[in-house]
Amino acid sequence: MDGQQGGGLMAMDVAAQWAGGVLTINLGAIAANYRLLTQIVRQADGESHAAVCAAAIKADAYGLGASLVAPVLERAGCRDFFVAHLAEGLAIRPAIRDDASSVFVLHGPPPGTARDFHEAGLTPVLNSMEQIAEWRALAKALGHPLAAVLQVDSGMARFGMTAMEVEKLTADPSLLDGISTVLVMSHLACADTPEVASNHSQLAEFRRLSALLPAAKRSLAASSGIFLGPDWHFDLVRPGAALYGVNPTPGRPSPVRSVVRLQARVIQTRTVPKGQAVGYGGYFIAPRESRIALLGIGYGDGFLRSVSNRGTAILPRRSDRPLPVIGRVSMDSLAIDVTDLGDDTVSAGDLIDLIGPHNPLDEVASAAGTIGYELLTDLGGRYHRIYTSE
């Protein structure tokens, strides 16, 4: 029996080692990015007035594994964590060890779940009059105040109370009876384009609306908003993507360290004649006799189909020679042209970088016609994952 179990575990380990792709996640880089963003805020605000740096770990820490990422951030000094859904909050609360740390749920309590929030030690972000009423009713039933965040819509027209709703709360303070407001927040629509005028109009509207609500700490900036300057920092900033290596300052060199490296395994190589169609739909026609390598990941692994005929790959030992992705990305595979490597051939089992030191996440996302956020969160579960602390 024991031998069979051991053999089964060994077989599983071998299968993982030979997965079609390897995703290496540098937890040390995540911690370093958190410390860097904290330092940037302190330098901008002044040590005595610096905003607290929180962390968005929603969407499973942008696909990288929240249960592993959250403790690393906590050890780096983070005490305030943001998730999107109640289920995310319930899943991550046990991984956050310091009882003084807070988990805020951005979407607030779905109808009938206020008690679940309270019992799990989660703090809701209240976005509507209905959510406020449900949280107020629980506080009354329990006989003591309950902490909450109030979100206002400063101009993005997404989550948060409208100006009319905020004014209603101002006119009737009893609507907030039993609610201890620990934070008032909003979200910027165009923080990654600092020249856009709406950043200033949202700042002014947030100041106006937050002044109408009970005195509390305030938060407006997420990753890119940090780089708009101290006027946008208030009391707490909420970086997410920047922690995970996405450039928060598009068009300028990234201030943060890269976190992920995605490598695809060569399954097969072959030579095709000039004029040969490659892949679904004949989307690529070989302009010459070509050597191609077939790699073992595709859109089923979250490597987007839009990279077809647009992206590049890198053989680590030949980083000077980008290798074009040719033909359509399939569910489980993609093809690259390795002809220009000449005598430096690739073989089955070799690992090719699709995201890495010479193929940055944001550049790969741009080739796919998207942003680093989407590419990062799309990376699937079939990869063999390696966590490092370099």
Of 24, 12, 1, 43, the residue nearest 226 (C-alpha): 43
Q: What are phi and psi of 347, to 5 degrees?
A: -135, 165
Q: Active-site residue among 140, 274, 280, 387?
A: 280
CB within 8 A of 300, min separation 6: which ones? 331, 332, 380, 382
CA dihedral 136, 137, 138, 139 (to 10 degrees): 50
SS3 296: coil
> CA–CA separation, 102 vs 236, rounded Å?
13
> CA–CA separation, 83 vs 111, rounded Å?
18
Q: Are 187 and 220 in contact (CB under 8 A)?
A: yes
Residue that has been written with the tokens 């009876």 in this structure: 177
Q: Active-site residue among 58, 244, 373, 383?
A: 58
SS3 56: strand
Is 283 an active-site residue? no
Quote the distance between the C-alpha of residue 2 and its chain's center: 41
CB within 8 A of 50, min separation 6: which ones? 41, 42, 44, 233
Task: Output 318-322 pairs: Cβ under 8 A, ≥24 positions apart.
Answer: 318/344, 319/357, 319/358, 322/359
What residues does 73 pair with on adjacent strands? none
What residues does 265 pair with on adjacent strands? 351
Is 58 an active-site residue? yes
Of 208, 207, 114, 106, the residue nearest 160 (C-alpha): 106
DSSP string, 6-22: HHHHHHHHHHHHTSSEE
Q: Are 146 and 180 in contact (CB under 8 A)?
A: yes
Residues with active-site annotation: 58, 280
